[in-house]
Structure 1
């Protein structure tokens, strides 16, 4: 019988908090159980195992990150929207490193849970909506989404790993990188002749 008050949501939040403290790859079911003051077996009434828990953490994080981005970009367009979007992404990665890792790691997620989670779907809508403001259409939209994700994730991953040893402030480089992205998005190159879509 499941312990009173223990739910899949509570288990997920406990796992997410632990991931932020020790890293997603170091979270174990035993650690989560200890955090909640229950025996390991009690967790299995709510999550199927560690992979299921990681999937739930990824969905929780996607919802949280998307909400922050939506709030930051509301009513903005063009460069203002791009900067607000990027800053919210980076701030979430700094504040919740374990959860953020879950959003960037290939994890098998229960399709039924994924279908009910608004975060991933809303993230796509927000990103494409912002880029429509630059006048982009497919296949350029997909290419631009991949460029932004690569830039944002690459920057925050290097920053978290201490990869910016130069004396110049990473914040200054971040600002200049966003300036460069804005300029590129405004002057997106025409497709090459014969490029497949």
Structure 2
């Protein structure tokens, strides 16, 4: 067998590609070994097990998503920032469905601290500074945005909006407008 230059990073990237092709749930060390045409045992010097591989994929996806969000938010504030942030999440989920699913993997505190989750939270809070929400309302708003973005993206990906009018493309900007209006008029 030919050595294929395996590293944990290369395995995570290949696992992310596999997740986009077949679904994050289907990614295993065995499936990845088949992709590289190597024995499963040869991968265990790079990843401990399927959980370790999935954590690496999740961290890669969170990093990619954070990089995209940071680029989209540069120079924006208020509703423009909120809209750009929402579009980044929705677009990423459409382009990389398996990786997006990976971003929802429950991580241990140590795994989360080693990843880009904190960057996502800081960017969300930066957007919310434009709405001047005090604590704990800012934290409530962070959770609201995450819930709406993830909920919409997940329902749309699952086909929940394909059975009725209007088209989801019409609904998405309305949701972003509604979020902006809510944040500007946050309940006391």
TM range (shorter): over 0.9
3-state DSSP of counterpart to 1:41: helix
Aligned to 2:185: 187
- Cα distance, 1:105 vs structure 2: 2.6
CA displacement 1:136-172 (0-9 Å, x = unmatched): 1210011001111110011010001100021211011
Match of 2:164 among 148, 163, 166: 166
Question: 1:27 aligned to 2:24?
Answer: no
* C-alpha distance after superposition, 1:118-141 (max 9, x if no partner): x21211110101101110121001
Superposed CA deviations along residues 42-94 of structure 1, whole A, max 9, x for unmatched, are 11000000001111111000000011111111100000000000000100111
Q: State which of 147, 152, 158 in structure 1 corresponds to 2:149.
A: 152
Tell me, in whole angstroms, the C-alpha distance in 1 between the residues paired with 2:149 and 2:118: 19
Over aligned residue pairs, what C-alpha RMSD do you find? 1.4
Deviation at 1:115, TM superposition (A): 3.7
Instruction: Find the aligned partners of 1:47 and 1:137 in 2 and give their Cα distance.
Output: 43
- Unaligned 5+ segments in structure 2 are none
Query: Does structure 1 retain, via aligned residues, the 8 Å contact 2:12–2:56?
Result: yes
Aligned to 2:63: 63
Deviation at 1:107, TM superposition (A): 4.0
Q: Distance in 2 between matches of 1:14 and 1:34?
A: 11
Matched, 1:123 2:147: no
**Structure 1 regions of 5+ residues with no counterpart?**
191-197
Structure 1 residues 133 and 157: CA distance shift in structure 2, 3 A: same
Give the whole-Å Cα distance in 2 for the aligned partners of 1:61 and 1:14: 12
| In structure 1, C-alpha distance between the alignment counterparts of 2:148 and 2:66, rounded to whole Å | 17
Note the 1:38-117 alignment, pairs <5 A. 38-108=38-108, 111=110, 114-117=112-115
> What is the rounded CA distance, in whole Å, between the counterparts of 2:14 and 2:8 in structure 1?
10
CA contact (8 A) 1:54 1:107 kept: no
**Would the aligned equivalents of 1:14 and 1:36 in 2 still touch at CA under 8 Å?**
no
